[in-house]
Amino acid sequence: MVLVRPTVLMAAVGGGIFPRRSELVLYGMQLVSRGGVTWAEKAAWFRNVPVTAVYPTLGQMEIRVMFGRTASKAKGEKGLKTVTNPASKAYGKQLPPAAATVANELTGRKAPHSLAPEEYPSKLRRTLHTMKELEEYLSARKVTVP
């Protein structure tokens, strides 16, 4: 997945004002590749940024802090380092120091408050409004859908 600035896609509309990376989750879209979705006809498509990009779970916040602290340990190091953690997918590979430090120290670790896969917000609620909520909003406004 790639996070894309809409102003980059439509430079004519952009007017030279680009949001900061930290603001991109509010305005951006994700470019998603087909991957293992065998029924997809397109090689890639756009989708909205997941709600957890703006409102992360407790476990996501914890792992992001762990990631930042671990990567910061390599500050000032030059060259490439070998990944020595056998559990890492990158085991034995030469990576930049920050990436190697993260691979060595965080592979296999979980955040203390990480959620079970069935509790992920994306599994519980895929959209901003459920169909039931939309039906309630429409009935409150006395609008019927054929």
* CB contact at 8 A, 34 and 43: yes
Element at 94 (helix H, strand E) = strand 94-95
- The segment with the largest mean pLDDT, out of 41-45, 104-108, 123-127, 133-137, is 104-108
Q: What is the pLDDT of residue 12?
A: 43
Report pLDDT digits (tens) over 92-129: 999 999 999 999 999 999 999 999 988 888 777 766 67
**Structural domain boundaries in the chain:** 1-49
